[in-house]
Amino acid sequence: MSGWWREAALYQIYPRSFQDTDGNGIGDLEGICRRLDHIADLGVGAVWLSPIFRSPMADFGYDVSDYRDIDPVFGDMAAFDRLLEETHARGLKLLLDFVPNHSSDQHPWFQESRSSRDNPKRDWYIWHDPAPDGGPPNNWMSNFGGSAWEWDEHTDQYYYHAFLAEQPDLNWRNPDVRAAMRDVLRFWLDKGVDGFRVDVIWHLIKDAEFRDNPLNPHYDASHPDIDRYLQVYSADQPEVHDVIAELRAVIDSYDDRLLIGEIYLPIERLMTYYGRDNSGVHLPFNFQLIQCAWNADAIGSLIHEYESALPEGGWPNWVLSNHDQPRIAARVGEAQARVAAMLLLTLRGTPTLYYGDEIGIADVDMTEEEVLDPAAINEPGVSFNRDRSRTPMQWSDKPVAGFSDGKPWLPLTQDWRERNAAVQRQDPASLLNLHRALLHIRSIEPDLLSGAYRRIDMDEDVLAYERGASIAVILNLSSEPVELSLPDKWKAARVLLSVRSAQALNEVPANLAGAEGVILKIKDAE
């Protein structure tokens, strides 16, 4: 089976927050270049950059006004070319974030589209007459609050935006839009990028009749507006798979490139995004661990459900955090964040790490006035403030954690003087060194890459599993010690790594301390 991405761990960078080099408090491409050694040393195989394209930044780059240019805040095309070269020089792959569902309202395509009803680009976006009462055409809500329809006075119609009004949705039923977007992919693939993460891929096609979404019986006012209705007609339509197959065909016309889809759907719907005969995305992002209760029972059931639902030839993947969700250390605390790292890096499938999780960055104190995330500004208190997961990377105990010479665009977390990459590099037991050890072991143990996953029943707080015939993993998901009753063949195993020490152990422990975990190499298999 070909595909470097089956073996590589992916590392997501939020470019605004990785490394600033020009003192404006916002990270840039030159900064990423300077920090590539950190990434290579960690042992991941690929870097995915959240959007770096030209953008008015209404949604911090997820509103693209030119798909073929770099935003000046991040640098220019020469800086990108250098970054690509430097990334490849370290044996790493580079993935970009493709945002095809919507553009910025400043994109020339939308400017043309909104200029008149008979403009040739009118149909590139989703325009609709008002409902008979003059209101929005249907009840579809924006993910960032309020109706998803914006009235355009100039042409007397509404346009649809699943996110901000500054992010009008493109009309993917229009073949010219599809062709233009395929050209965008080719532009970057020709440059040598190794693939894309595709933003909200399950949104690309909407119901052709624009039917109202049904009410969500579980909605209450503690939820954002988007949860008022079940998204039956506004996303995840059958025709989306034809669009994805077209994108995949472009990817497959180049050697060994990767297509990942961002998809928040229940497992059985998620699986359809592998596509008929695996003609969909290579990896439909699996966010289940982000949403799962943190206990052995829930996680064990989830892994079982996910593994059992995979279609033939579908390669699994796992994600713990990203730029839209609370970080793992904020969700479960530092001790369990260490256990989570062992889980993520010993499950079957491609893992994605989020920058900063390798040093356990958690949450940040922010006042309401400091909030920049448009989703949180629109729906304060009910929508998660994503700024909290986008704070600058903490490199050292130098000013601004070595991130910038200026005022950072978002505050650092409180503990940056103690929690930073430089300090953790020196500490053999640090979370950073735990990640390095895990990624190393993952790279030299073939069963960790491809061995079958089999859960082994143990104490209710323990999640234990085998990977192939040679590896066993035991994780204590509680903060209390547990006594282990181990299968005989595990007792004589070699302990390759412990969560708490980030080192090998001399013998298999009879009890597992709270938040401890071990990787065992089973002897008969050696």
Minimum Å gap between C-beta 203 and ligand NOJ is 8
Which one of residues 59, 166, 194, 358 is an interface residue with ligand NOJ (CB under 6 A)? 59
Q: What is the CA radius of gyration of the chain?
A: 23
User: Out of 236, 262, 358, 516, which one is annotated catalytic?
Assistant: 262
Minimum Å gap between C-beta 473 and ligand NOJ is 30
Residue 312 is a catalytic residue: no
Which pairs from 171-177 meet CB under 8 Å and 24+ separation?
Answer: 171/123, 171/124, 171/125, 171/126, 172/100, 172/101, 172/204, 172/205, 172/240, 172/243, 173/205, 173/208, 173/239, 174/123, 174/124, 176/124, 177/124
Instruction: Give Cα separations from 489 to 323, 384, 451, 497, 522 (angstroms).
Output: 42, 46, 17, 18, 7
Residue 371 engages ligand NOJ in binding (rule: CB under 6 A): no
φ, ψ for residue 271, nearest 5 deg:
-65, -25
- Fill in the per-residue mask, 261 to 300: x = in contact with ligand NOJ (CB under 6 A), - = not in contact: -x--------------------------------------
Which one of residues 28, 169, 199, 357 is an interface residue with ligand NOJ (CB under 6 A)? 199
**Which residue lies nearer to ligand NOJ by CB, 389 or 420?**
389
**Which residue lies nearer to ligand NOJ by CB, 6 or 102?**
102
Instruction: Give Cα separations from 396 to 24, 159, 180, 422, 426 (angstroms).
Output: 19, 47, 44, 5, 12
**Which residue lies nearer to ligand NOJ by CB, 109 or 163?**
163
**Which residue lies nearer to ligand NOJ by CB, 47 or 99?**
99
Separation of alpha carbons 100 and 67, rounded Å: 9
Number of residues engaging ligand NOJ in binding (CB under 6 A): 9
Residue 324 engages ligand NOJ in binding (rule: CB under 6 A): yes
Instruction: Give Cα separations from 102 to 165, 300, 357 (angstroms).
Output: 10, 37, 29
- Give the footprint of ligand NOJ on residues 91-110 (CB under 6 A): 99
**Which residue lies nearer to ligand NOJ by CB, 86 or 166?**
166
Minimum Å gap between C-beta 519 and ligand NOJ is 32
Separation of alpha carbons 85 and 80, rounded Å: 9
**Which residue lies nearer to ligand NOJ by CB, 48 or 306?**
48
Minimum Å gap between C-beta 50 and ligand NOJ is 7
Instruction: Give Cα separations from 323 to 14, 204, 310, 356 (angstroms).
Output: 7, 21, 26, 11
**Which residue lies nearer to ligand NOJ by CB, 162 or 493?**
162
Minimum Å gap between C-beta 3 and ligand NOJ is 24
Residue 483 is a catalytic residue: no
CA triple 235-230-259, angle to 5 deg = 30
What DSSP assignment string belongs to 74-90?
T--HHHHHHHHHHHHHT
User: Out of 166, 199, 387, 445, which one is annotated catalytic?
Assistant: 199
Closest CA to 206 of 176, 168, 179, 250: 168
Residue 163 engages ligand NOJ in binding (rule: CB under 6 A): yes
Residue nearest to ligand NOJ (CB): 62
Closest CA to 60 of 142, 184, 144: 144
Minimum Å gap between C-beta 102 and ligand NOJ is 7
Separation of alpha carbons 100 and 488, rounded Å: 53
Minimum Å gap between C-beta 144 and ligand NOJ is 8
Point out the residues that are catalytic. Answer: 199, 262
Binding site for ligand NOJ (CB under 6 A): 59, 62, 99, 163, 199-200, 262, 323-324
